[in-house]
Amino acid sequence: MSDLGALLQKAREQRRLSLDDIQELTKIRKRYLEAIEEGNYSVLPGSFYVRAFVKNYAEAVGLDADEVLRLYNKEIPSNVPEQVVEPIQRPRRSQTQSNDRWGKWGFRTLMWSFLLLIIVLVYIYAIKQPSKDNVDSADQTKMTDQTKAPENNPDKATVKNGDNASTNESTGGKDEVPVTPPPTEEPVEEPVVPATTLTLDRSSGSTDYYKVAPAGAHKIVFNATGRAWVGVKEKNKNGKYILQHQFNKSGETIELDINGPAYINVGRADLVEVTLDGVAMEDGNAANPHRMQLDMVEDDAADAANKTTE
């Protein structure tokens, strides 16, 4: 085993990570990781991949990748520079100069033709515009001639006014009927959704056990501030994975809906913020893996757990 491989293996074991965990974090095959720890770089596809794989491995176990590459630069195979073949430059011929001359004249001719075309279009538009205005005014004159003025009929207006007056006199003696206002509807109260209660029950090693109330559907949100891996299993650590995700940059967010107990595994607790229904979960904020077990309870059980904790 090489000195570099021993350093990486020691850092991995201090964080309680297996080669399978490093494979999930870096997406590098396990046999390549074993070859790096043993110093057998001939297994890797090339010298360029050796430096890239060592850098990713060092970052996954919390080491300064640039410092590791600098200290073990002699041990890591260097990149073999590729020979650059310079193209043979041929002497330019006089034909190139003539082509440039014709190209300049052609460009100038095209520009003048374009300007001339614009002037012609503007001139044609200006000629047709007055004739269009004359047609519109002629159409308006015809419409005015065809419209007839309304006839005045004072007799009918007088008769209608008289009828209205007589109607008002005939109905003036009747009593007014009181109008009953419609009954007011009482507002319907919407059911109040109980707030999520998150209670730390106990801690064992790098695992925290939480009581979540009320039981039912909840939403887990992961906010990344760097490169890290997260995984979620059903029920407990022996359950089936329902989420595995690798964050590659800061600002990435992923959401997951759960309907029962869940087991959360965070590769780098200092680079991932975990919330449940908007409630932040304490993960230690250290550059180490952190695990959280969520168990669903009813509201009464959660209140009893809170009193016991107090």
- Could you give the residue ranges of the DSSP H alpha helices within the chain? 3-14, 19-26, 30-38, 47-60, 65-71, 94-146, 154-171, 299-309
| CA separation, residue 125 to residues 48, 120, 283 (Å) | 67, 9, 74
User: What whole-number distance in Å separates Cα of residue 293 and Cα of residue 261?
Assistant: 8
Tokens linked to 269: 């607790």
Question: What is the third-level CATH fold of 3-71?
Answer: 434 Repressor (Amino-terminal Domain) (1.10.260)
- Could you give the residue ranges of the DSSP H alpha helices within 61-93? 65-71
Give the residue extent of every domain in the chain. Answer: 3-71, 197-309
- Of 310, 276, 273, 303, which is closest to residue 290 (Cα–Cα)? 273
Residue 179 CA, distance from chain mean position: 59
User: What whole-number distance in Å separates Cα of residue 170 and Cα of residue 8?
Assistant: 108
| CA separation, residue 228 to residues 22, 56, 144, 247, 308 (Å) | 11, 12, 80, 5, 36
Tokens linked to 155: 């007799």
User: What whole-number distance in Å separates Cα of residue 197 and Cα of residue 306?
Assistant: 10
- Of 250, 248, 206, which is closest to residue 229 (Cα–Cα)? 248
* Fold match flag (3-71 vs 197-309): no
What's the CATH number of domain 197-309, 3.30.160, 1.10.3470, 2.60.40, 2.30.30?
2.60.40
DSSP-derived letter for residue 272 is E
| CA separation, residue 156 to residues 159, 161, 162 (Å) | 5, 9, 10
The residue to which tokens 């052609």 are assigned: 106
| CA separation, residue 12 to residues 17, 30, 72, 272, 288 (Å) | 5, 14, 18, 19, 10
Task: Give SS3 for 242.
Answer: strand
pLDDT at 154: 43
CA atoms within 13 A on the CB side of 301: 12
| DSSP H helix total and E strand total for the chain | 8, 10
Task: Give SS3 for 5.
Answer: helix
Residue 254 CA, distance from chain mean position: 9
Task: Give SS3 for 227.
Answer: coil
For 141, phi then psi, to 5°, come to -65, -40
**Per-residue pLDDT in tens (0 to 9) along the chain, 310 residues:** 678 888 888 888 998 999 899 999 889 999 998 988 888 888 888 777 888 898 898 898 888 888 888 888 778 776 644 444 444 455 455 556 666 677 778 888 988 999 999 999 999 988 887 655 555 555 555 555 554 445 554 444 343 444 444 444 444 444 555 667 666 666 666 655 568 888 888 988 889 898 998 888 999 998 999 999 999 999 898 999 999 999 998 999 999 999 989 999 888 988 898 998 999 888 767 788 989 898 999 866 555 555 545 5
CB 119 within 8 A of CB 127: no
